[in-house]
Structure 1
Amino acid sequence: MKFFINNKFEYILKKVTFLIDNFLIEGKILVNGQRNTIKLFKVEDITLNIKSFKKPNLINKIAYRYFRKSKARRSFEFASKLMEMQIGTPNPVAFFENYDFIGLKESYYACEHLENVFEFREIVQNEAFENRDFIIRKFTQFTFEMHEKGIEFLDHSPGNTLIRKNTDGSYSFFLVDLNRMKFHESLDFKTRMKNLSKITHKKDMIVVMSNEYAKLSGEDETIIFETMWGLTADFQYRFHRKKRIKKKLKFWKK
């Protein structure tokens, strides 16, 4: 097994390694998907969130050994970089990789579990959500800060930002599912707008986001809205077309 652990958490290395070795029989299931499994583990005073990535196919087994970093390693390294750049994300603890004679067999990413948070998705789905407009604006400020620092989060979707309401009434934002990110010297306007195109299909939200982004960037609000709305429509079309194709393929397989 190959691993790397955050120096801050070296004191629990043996316990975390034991949990990885016994991942199938230990822990509380948080997500049990077709692709990845996430479990929670209590280790001393910490609740660990450990993600087991889907076992790679033959080509990816080889690729992750010789040509590309594993999703677990990228998640850890990107989380560490976000922490350095003061962008919210759960505290990275460690990543683990198991290899066989062909290549990567399994990989795991461990981070501290965040309590008392909700997904931005709830804001999209619930138009009566408390302080909805205020949270959308704060989320836009969070995204703008990320863009200003040259961060392109390729999976910037409503399920990948967690939000915590603080005791003083403010809100904190945390990025999760980090294995697809790019870091640039700067981001051009089109890339910024495209990065927001997966957030919501709701026009009222895009109006608010456009207004707030215009205040922060100095760009023309109408141009921001028209660009963001057009890219969102393109994304929604491609997303639903892909779903229709998958549905047809599944039908013919029956």
Structure 2
Amino acid sequence: MPIIIHSKYKNKEEAILQLVADFFTKGNMIVKGSRNTIKSNFLGDEKVNIKFFQKPGLFKSIIYSFFRTTKAKRSFDYANYLINNHILTPFPIAYIENRNSLGLLKDSYYVSQQIDYDFTIRELIHDPLFPERNVILEQFAEFTFKMHEAKVNFLDHSPGNTLVVKKSSGQYEFYLIDLNRMNFKNLSIEERMDNFKKMWLSKTMVKAIAKTYAKLSSEPEDKLHAILLEKTTQFKRKITKKKYLKRKIGRK
């Protein structure tokens, strides 16, 4: 079971491997998904998360073994990129890839620090009366601008994938999670606004984010507002249509 460990944790290899070996019998369940499972446990005195990526089908196993990096490796590499560019994410500790004798991927694990967060962007989206909502939105827009400036296109930039930590009144920190779908390039203003579309923003929120992003980017506010509103509306229509068709097919 090959393991890649961050240099800060080199002396804890045996303990990390033991956490992985005990994954199915110990630890606290955080997420039990059809493809991935996340548990928390302790590495010494430090609370950590272990994300288990289940064995892919044969075709994907071949792809991930010989043509594309695994989700665990991408999570680790992308977290290091974010941290090196001063973008917060749970600190990457290690990743482990379990392969068979032919080198085909069986399953993999990603280990990172646990973040004790206060809420996610999802709670903010669904509650118009959320405390300091506009302040958080402005700071979230700044956080996303900083991410874009670092050439990060986070393809899963959705409400549940940003953890929020309240530092004090009016001061918040944002941490990206679920990192394995990213690419890195200079983003046009269209692409930057498109990156917000999965946030399911209301018209009021679109206005607030466009205003803040315009100040940071020196782009006209009305231009950003128009693009962001269009991208958001198109995405909502697409998802709503997909759900409608799914319901219709389900009734037949």
| TM class by smaller structure | over 0.9
* Aligned counterpart, 1:146: 147
> What is the CA–CA distance in structure 2 between the aligned matches of 1:108 and 1:224, rounded to whole Å?
40
* Aligned counterpart, 2:162: 161
Scaled by the length of structure 1, the TM-score of the pair is 0.93
Secondary structure at 2:174 match in 1: strand
Given the superposition, is the C-alpha separation of residues 133 and 40 from structure 1 closer, same or farther in structure 2, using an over 3 Å criterion?
A: same
* Aligned counterpart, 1:204: 204
> What is the CA–CA distance in structure 2 between the aligned matches of 1:169 and 1:209, rounded to whole Å?
17
> What is the CA–CA distance in structure 2 between the aligned matches of 1:52 and 1:4, rounded to whole Å?
15
Is contact 1:48-1:113 (8 Å) kept? Answer: yes
Over aligned residues, Cα RMSD in angstroms? Answer: 1.6
User: 1:181 deviation in Å?
Assistant: 0.8
Q: CA-to-partner distance for each residue in 1:145-198, whole Å, 9 max, x for gaps?
A: 1111211111111111111111464111111000011111x2111110111111
Amino acid at match of 2:94: A
Uncovered stretches (5+) of structure 2, i.e. residues with no partner: none
Scaled by the length of structure 2, the TM-score of the pair is 0.94
> What is the CA–CA distance in structure 2 between the aligned matches of 1:5 and 1:69, rounded to whole Å?
16
* Aligned counterpart, 1:172: 173
% identical aligned pairs:
39
Given the superposition, is the C-alpha separation of residues 38 and 246 from structure 1 closer, same or farther in structure 2, using an over 3 Å criterion?
A: farther
User: 1:245 deviation in Å?
Assistant: 4.5
* Aligned counterpart, 1:46: 46
> What is the CA–CA distance in structure 2 between the aligned matches of 1:250 and 1:18, rounded to whole Å?
45
Amino acid at match of 1:227: I
Uncovered stretches (5+) of structure 1, i.e. residues with no partner: none
Query: How many residues are paired up?
Result: 251
> What is the CA–CA distance in structure 1 between the aligned matches of 2:235 and 2:57, rounded to whole Å?
28
The within-5 A match list for 1:74-113 is 74-100=74-100, 101=102, 103-113=104-114
* Aligned counterpart, 1:137: 138
Amino acid at match of 2:178: D
Secondary structure at 1:24 match in 2: coil
